[in-house]
Amino acid sequence: MLAFSPVHDAVGAAGAAVSWLSDALTPLSGGAATAVAIVLFTVAVRLLISPLTLAQVRGERRRAALAPEVRELQRRYADDPARLQSELFGLYRRAGANPVAGCLPALLQAPFFLVMYRLFATGEGGSGLLDERLAGVPLGWHLGDGLSGPVVLVFGVLLAALLGLAWLQSRRARQAAATGTVAGAPTEGPGAATLGRLIPLLPFTTVLVALVVPLAAVLYLVTTTGWTALEQLVLRRPRPADIGVRR
């Protein structure tokens, strides 16, 4: 059934696009053309879904602006959950915000990431994509397939970059959890405390995934994680209004 699914068709189309890019880049990039094509194709997809990311950031900013009022309502109606829910709903409706809407853009991005994973982790639709090489290492090579000089060098550089990006994302996640701007997350109580400890650890799962997927998928993970870090730097930078509120 999967062979006739829309996801399968999308993976095939993505594989054809990467192959075309690789052929076009061969005169400039030589043997690294396919690796460069993976990076450029990943950036193109992230640009395509950037409006969803922008919508998510806007939702986070609305929630952050309402956080003081939310905390006041939680304090005032701590003993009346039904009234609290009613007041919170009214607050979000008047502000044109929704505490769950921030999750929607992330959910809409999921099919794109599924297609990318199946293309680069399994080679589905790639027509020999995983047979190509980067610095002498096949793009289908896993760390478990054996270590050699080129393998240690290529994987070492990529994993070090991924670990650094994960640390940056973890730091950002701690700040977001502390200010209550995590989409759909509670701002107070045991749930908030648990999320405050769990969320900063999630970026490091990408490093764990990179240990078991082929080199092509590691390239994708580094590129998409780097793009996410850039988005956080540009879209989630403190604004003058935010700095004024903190003061």
At 114-141, the pLDDT tens digits run 888 888 888 777 668 888 889 889 999 9
Q: Rounded to whole angstroms, how far apart are CA atoms 101 and 37?
A: 34
Domain boundaries, the chain: 2-246
Q: Rounded to whole angstroms, how far apart are CA atoms 38 and 27?
A: 16
CA nearest to 133, candidates 32, 20, 24, 23: 32
223, 43 contact by CB (below 8 A): yes
pLDDT at 247 over 50: no
Give 32's DSSP letter: G
Q: What is the pLDDT of residues 12-56, one digit of tens each?
A: 888 889 999 999 999 988 888 999 999 999 999 889 888 877 877
User: Beta-carbon neighbour count of residue 6 at 10 Å?
Assistant: 9
180, 63 contact by CB (below 8 A): yes
The H or E element that residue 161 is part of is helix 149-179
